[in-house]
């Protein structure tokens, strides 16, 4: 049976953190043998919230390094920048005629961003963010989109646009499904529901053991557990949630020893530092190698972008055909 197509992407906003890994990247890597994969560096999408383009290129390379270091294989999963495939803009324009302003204003992810970033005057392109994202997915006829849960409303819009196009002009697009990871999000070091660079509560994939140790030292635990002998409540502790992810074999013991007061936060944090460090170490080593090999990174992008242009061009030919615009 023919493999289904995965299309997923991230905005290049600098180095990735473990929240990105757990929310999406881990899934991409696990799925790369069973699907036909395409992975997009959504550099135009960065413009919706940041007009300063001076670091976009470098940030895109940093993200590519993290993807490769974490285990994404360019042979199986072509990686490319959105800005290098013009068809994204073309399809976005057509899709922008097939959805109402009202529908886009109801997007909960947009509402969250407006609140979190304190946006007073929304630009037209930001309102249209999911329209460009729909073009990203449907140009490659993506059927499965592994993303974090905040992206699910965008996939719903993608499905609506696929239906609307197919109904108006004839069948061209599939209706893609989101695919969430088992741990869709990781809590921030400060206890915030989301790990996010702008909140400064992250552990980067590129952090050293010393950096991880310092960050965990400040991480929020059970505020009622003041000293070692006090009984703790693992279920409200950020560090415990990291143990669940990075140290699954010891969670029962840690939960018991925390609850009885036998295990203090200092020791628990050191244990956790060790586990996160051994988890990240191979990524860190590979990153170091890639950082000094710019030529390889450029070759990977060139190759991915050539493949992407081929597919995107074919889809646009079908779109124009269906629309009878030659």
Where does this chain bind ligand TRP (CB under 6 A)?
Answer: 7-11, 40, 42, 45, 133, 136-137, 145, 147, 151
| CB closer to ligand TRP, 80 vs 169 | 80
* Burial zone of 41 (CB within 10 Å; 0-12 exposed, 13-18 middle, 19+ buried): buried
Whether the CB-CB separation of 187 and 181 falls below 8 Å is answered with no
| CB closer to ligand TRP, 126 vs 225 | 126
Min separation Cβ 134 and ligand TRP, Å: 8
| CB closer to ligand TRP, 37 vs 255 | 37
Min separation Cβ 175 and ligand TRP, Å: 14
Minimal CA–CA distance to 64: which of 37, 85, 41, 88? 41
Phi, psi of 118 (to 5 degrees): 50, 50
Min separation Cβ 110 and ligand TRP, Å: 11
- 56 Cβ partners below 8 Å, 6+ apart? 12, 43, 46
Angle subtended by helix axes 251-260 and 265-291, to nearest 10: 140
Min separation Cβ 174 and ligand TRP, Å: 14
Min separation Cβ 26 and ligand TRP, Å: 15
Whether the CB-CB separation of 9 and 39 falls below 8 Å is answered with yes
Minimal CA–CA distance to 61: which of 309, 308, 298, 283? 298
Q: Any bridge partners for residue 5, and if so which?
A: 36
| CB closer to ligand TRP, 134 vs 221 | 134
Min separation Cβ 18 and ligand TRP, Å: 15
| CB closer to ligand TRP, 41 vs 68 | 41
| CB closer to ligand TRP, 42 vs 61 | 42
């Amino acid at each position: 049976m023919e493999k289904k197509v995965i299309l997923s992407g991230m905005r290049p906003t600098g180095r990735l953190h473990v929240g990105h890994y757990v929310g999406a990247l881990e899934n991409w890597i696990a799925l790369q043998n069973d699907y036909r994969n395409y992975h997009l560096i959504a550099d135009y999408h960065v413009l919706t919230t940041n007009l300063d383009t001076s670091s976009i290129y470098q940030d895109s390379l940093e993200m590519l390094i993290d993807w490769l270091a974490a285990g994404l294989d360019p042979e199986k999963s072509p990686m490319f920048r959105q800005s290098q495939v013009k068809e994204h803009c073309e399809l976005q324009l057509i899709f922008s005629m097939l959805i109402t302003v009202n529908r886009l204003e109801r997007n909960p992810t947009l509402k969250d961003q407006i609140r979190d970033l304190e946006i007073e005057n929304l630009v037209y392109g930001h309102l249209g963010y999911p329209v460009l994202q729909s073009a990203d997915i449907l140009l490659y006829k993506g059927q499965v989109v592994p993303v974090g849960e905040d992206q699910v409303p965008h996939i719903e819009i993608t499905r609506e646009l696929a239906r609307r196009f197919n109904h108006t002009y004839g069948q061209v697009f599939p209706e893609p499904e989101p695919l969430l990871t088992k741990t869709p999000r990781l809590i921030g070091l400060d206890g915030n529901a989301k790990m996010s660079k702008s909140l400064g509560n992250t552990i980067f994939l590129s952090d050293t053991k010393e950096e991880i140790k310092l960050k965990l030292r400040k991480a929020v635990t059970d505020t009622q557990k003041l000293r070692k002998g006090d009984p703790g409540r693992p279920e409200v502790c950020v560090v415990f949630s990291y143990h669940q992810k990075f140290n699954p074999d010891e969670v029962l013991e840690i939960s018991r020893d925390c609850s009885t007061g036998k295990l203090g936060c200092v020791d628990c944090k050191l244990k956790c530092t060790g586990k996160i460090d051994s988890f990240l170490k191979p990524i860190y080593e590979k990153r170091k190698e890639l950082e000094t090999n710019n030529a390889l990174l450029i070759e990977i992008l060139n190759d991915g972008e050539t493949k992407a242009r081929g597919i995107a061009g074919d889809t646009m030919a079908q779109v124009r055909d269906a629309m009878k615009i030659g």
